[in-house]
Amino acid sequence: MENDAAISPEFACPIAPVVDIVFSRWTTPILWTLHTHGRQRFVEVQRRITSITPKVLTQRLRQLERDGLIVRTYHPEVPPRVEYEISELGRSLAPVFAHLTDWATANLPQVAQAREHYDAQP
């Protein structure tokens, strides 16, 4: 049998690659925005996620397109227009987000209490 230390995290925890893709910073707000509001131009996404910088939004949109979670459509007009929308693959994450929303609603108050209790300890 292989040494446990030699097993990569991907094999030790099969959801680790999914967590890296879907739950990296800004991915969930972008996917949530595109799922909720539909096809949008860059500036529309930026207006909805006000704390993200244009540079980071560009990087995340490119990565999400590379991962197949969003679709970028270029319209060769004057001026050029680019729109982003969630792909079928990205849409397939909706049940995961719904379950996480349910979990958050049911359990985040307990998390807050646990943190308060922990922080109050000497």
| C-alpha Rg value of the chain to the nearest Å | 19
Q: How far is CA 55 from CA 9, 16, 52, 104, 106, in A?
A: 30, 26, 8, 30, 35
Side chain identity at residue 59, one-letter code? Q
pTM over 0.85: no
Give me the tens of pLDDT residue by residue for the chain, a chain 122 residues long.
445 556 665 577 888 888 888 888 899 999 999 999 999 999 999 999 999 999 999 999 999 999 999 999 999 999 889 999 999 999 999 898 899 999 999 999 999 999 999 999 98
Confidence at residue 1, expressed as pLDDT on a 0 to 100 scale? 45
Vertex 23 angle, CA 22 and 28, to 5°: 80
Q: How far does Cα 73 stand from its chain's mean position? A: 20
| Measured distance CA(35)–CA(33) in Å, rounded | 5
Phi, psi of 47 (to 5 degrees): -65, -35
Q: SS3 of 15, please?
A: coil
Domains annotated on the chain, with CATH = 4-91 (1.10.10.10)
Confidence at residue 54, expressed as pLDDT on a 0 to 100 scale? 95
> Which DSSP category does 6 fall into?
G
Q: Residue 81: enclosing H or E segment and its boundaries? A: strand 81-86
